[in-house]
Each structure stands twice: as C-alpha cells, then as structure tokens.
Structure 1
C-alpha cells in the first residue's frame, strides 16, 4: 500500500476481474517477501517501491490464502506510473472514500488498516468479500 502526501493511495483495476485493489500478488518459488513485493508493484504499476512496515495479515477462509499488506514508500528512482499494464486495466491514485466505494469490504479494510494512525499490525479474516469474525481479529499487539 503506497500513500502519497495528499492522502491518495495507489490502486489498480485488475484486468482479470475488474475489481479495484492495491497492487499485490503471489511470491515466486524461493522469492523473499520484500523482493516479491517490489516485483509485483513494479509489474502492476510501473513504479518502484520500498516496504516500510507490515500493516496487516488477512486470511481468506474460503481460499485458505493469507495476504500480507505492507505500507510502502516510493523509491527515490520510482519512475512514472503506467496508465495500464498486462495485469492492470487502470492505475489510479484514489482517496479513501473512493476506495470504500470501489472496493469490496475485504479489500478496502486493508487500505484503511494501513492508513490508521496507530502502528499496530491488523489481523483479520474474510470470505473474499466481507470481513468475518473468526476470533483472531485485532492486532499483533493484542495477541501478545
């Protein structure tokens, strides 16, 4: 999740299903998390980023997939955002309200958690669309 000084967040409209999300993807075999994060954002937006901190852990209980969300900053040599890529039909800097309107709750919450004023890492479960209560919601600080 990349947020500019004006509060807008880097988002993509996925080419495969048309949904608005923050850039992301799956690690390749043997790939380290920061390297995969940099690769995925570059592939989907044309921008170079650097991870700053883990902001959330999200379990899709239907697919048994765990997503990690990191707050990132643009790299000093970030380049220019593309208007579209092989994976992204559209790339835009959206406001938090636009994200709430365009994204399903399970994805909007990732941005809202990352933009929260506290430094805690959120832990949430969802069904691909909506958040669900699974007894793990909270933060890493709550779990210790």
Structure 2
C-alpha cells in the first residue's frame, strides 16, 4: 500500500511510583501502546505530548527527558483499518505524573492501565517493543531510529 501522508507525532512513556508503565488499548486497532498522538499546527512537541496524555488518560505530566526520534518507515508506517497509510515521525519522551486522575477516553481507548515491564500485554503495536526497550535502557543519549 502507498503511504498517504506523513505526520509529526509524539509518544510518552510514563512510570507510576511502583515502576509500572502506563499503556492504553487503542480503540482504532485494538492493540496496546504508549499514549501517543499527532502534533497539531502551532504546537511544540512538548505541548503535544502533554495534551495527548491528558486527553487520553486524564493525567497531567512533566517531561523528564527525550528518549529518541523515530522515522524509519519499517516501523513508523501505520496501516489504519479505514485504509489510510501514515508515516509518522515520532518524538518520544519519558515523563512523570504531575497530577490529574486516570480515566479512559472512550473515543480513543478501550482500556488504560499500568503494567510491570516484565508483564506487558502481548498484543502491542509493532513499534512499541523497540520503544519500550529504548526507554528501559541505561543509555543517556537519545536514539535516532
């Protein structure tokens, strides 16, 4: 299938106090993944990350560090059920919870919850295992993939 568009995107990994990772089960494809979304016109990637996390989970966050920037079509092309094929250029951050109350946005998510890094759901979006590995590594410099 031909790529129909390219979008700037953000993804955020958020750990709770027990070291568990926040994931959402996406309504559009039925798979688990990190909170993520598009950068809107006039918005910085940091603003987009904070907005997307709040919209999808009800949580306010503070960005802690850049994990990396991901653009490789082999992992960044997403096939939507409606036929769209989108190549995402994703800026990936780690963040901490600064407030809010966890909830499900029923327009975008089927479920949200925290998972131990050793007990993640098996039905993850295809790019998320790499993203999770990068966030859990001891590397201080950001990844470019």
TM-score by length of 1: 0.76
Q: For the Cα contact (< 8 Å) 2:58–2:100, is it kept in 1?
A: yes
Q: Secondary structure at the match of 2:38?
A: coil
Structure 1 residues 100 and 68: CA distance shift in structure 2, 3 A: farther
1:33 CA drift (Å): 1.4
Q: For the Cα contact (< 8 Å) 1:10–1:94, is it kept in 2?
A: yes
2:119 aligns with 98
Deviations along 1:79-130, one digit per CA (max 9) or x if unpaired, are 2101443211100101223336231442121122112122121222xxxxxx
TM-score by length of 2: 0.76
2:27 aligns with 15
Q: For the Cα contact (< 8 Å) 1:96–1:112, is it kept in 2?
A: no
How many residues get paired?
A: 122
Deviations along 1:36-88, one digit per CA (max 9) or x if unpaired, are 1110000111111111111021124144321111000111xx12101443211
Q: 1:1-144 alignment to 2 at 5 Å?
A: 1-61=13-73, 62=77, 63-75=86-98, 78-99=99-120, 101-124=122-145
Q: Secondary structure at the match of 1:39?
A: helix
Higher helix share: 1
| C-alpha distance in 1 between matches for 2:97 and 2:136 | 16
Q: Name which structure has the greater RCO, CA cutoff 8 Å, separation 6+.
A: 2
Higher strand share: 2
Query: Which blocks of at least 5 consecutive residues in structure 1 are unaligned?
Result: 125-144
